[in-house]
Amino acid sequence: MATRRQPPTVRLRRLAGELRSLRQASGLTREDAAAQTNINSATLYRIETAKARPQRRTLLTLLDKYGVGDPERRAALVELSKQATQLGWLQAYESELPEEYTTYISFESEARSVRNYESLFVPGLLQTQGYTRAVVTASLPHASDDEVQKRVETRTQRQAFITRDDPLKLSAIVDEAVLHRKVGGAEVMAGQLRHLLDLTERPHITLQVLPYKVGAHPGMHGAFAVMDFPDVVDPELVYIENMAGALYLEKEADIRRYAEMFDQLRSAALNVADSRKFLDRLIDSEGEGRRK
């Protein structure tokens, strides 16, 4: 059985960036550094791309080579390395979930804000348990009851990010089709719509509806999320998911492109107040339909 890869975390990504910058400041290519430290070049590549955490001996060897002599700087990087693979509550679910999902959650848990466009689902952070259960059951038809429950519990744990003392700021845009699709049936969906309306009263959560009348728009290729982080040394990150897997984009040009795309969608969508009115009308119409 293949060894499960350690999901990258914000700290691991930060350590990778620090070591990459130190090497470049030393005027060394990755091949130079590998040859002069006897560290395998493939290992060094994995360290610099946040795919692996360096062992303490490897880290100290690199710091020596890059001329990092300041004791406080060395101690800070060693401590960062120690913390780089800590997954907190997610540790209990790691073996049950796909690597790309645990990776996303590890980043989301430390993000300052998320800009999320969804074309098919209610954003995960805003889902009710009934909605989540229906989505997981439909998308994973061969999953056991225990596996489904683990997914539901994980999503519920994630939602603590938007209710903690220093909550994650969420800006969400959903296609109108998301709100009409009766995931889990009429009763589950009615509860989901009411939940969305309640959540929009929180100052750190904005929800906008992208109506059908907009026609063609920049988000037609699919859902995406743009995350940014409290520490300025941690660059923004774009997350894209499809049936083939997950993709993380870190290049400045890609981040700028998706940020601009989100702004275009935000301009095309109903504003926050009108989106609330849209939800109100939809809830009322669904209620009327059930009473007939």
Domain ranges of the chain: 10-83, 90-291
Read off the pTM.
0.75
SS3 track for the chain: CCCCCCCCCHHHHHHHHHHHHHHHHCCCCHHHHHHHHCCCHHHHHHHHCCCCCCCHHHHHHHHHHCCCCCHHHHHHHHHHHHHCCCCHHHHHCHHHCCHHHHHHHHHHCCCCEEEEEECCCCCHHHCCHHHHHHHHHHHCCCCCHHHHHHHHHHHHHHHHHHCCCCCCEEEEEEEHHHHHCCCCCHHHHHHHHHHHHHHCCCCCEEEEEECHHHCCCHHHHCCEEEEECCCCCCCCEEEEEECCEEEEECCHHHHHHHHHHHHHHHHHCCCHHHHHHHHHHHHHHHHHHHHC
Topology of domain 90-291, CATH: Endonuclease; Chain A (3.30.870)
Domain 10-83 CATH (choose: 1.10.260.40, 3.40.50.1480, 3.40.50.300, 3.40.190.10): 1.10.260.40
**Mind listing the pLDDT tens digit of every residue in the chain (292 residues)?**
344 455 566 677 777 778 888 898 889 999 999 899 998 888 888 888 877 888 888 888 899 989 988 888 888 788 778 766 655 545 454 556 666 777 788 788 888 999 999 999 999 999 999 999 999 999 989 989 998 998 898 889 889 889 888 999 999 999 999 999 999 999 999 999 999 999 999 999 999 999 999 999 999 999 999 999 887 777 888 999 876 667 888 888 999 999 999 999 999 999 999 999 999 999 998 765 554 4
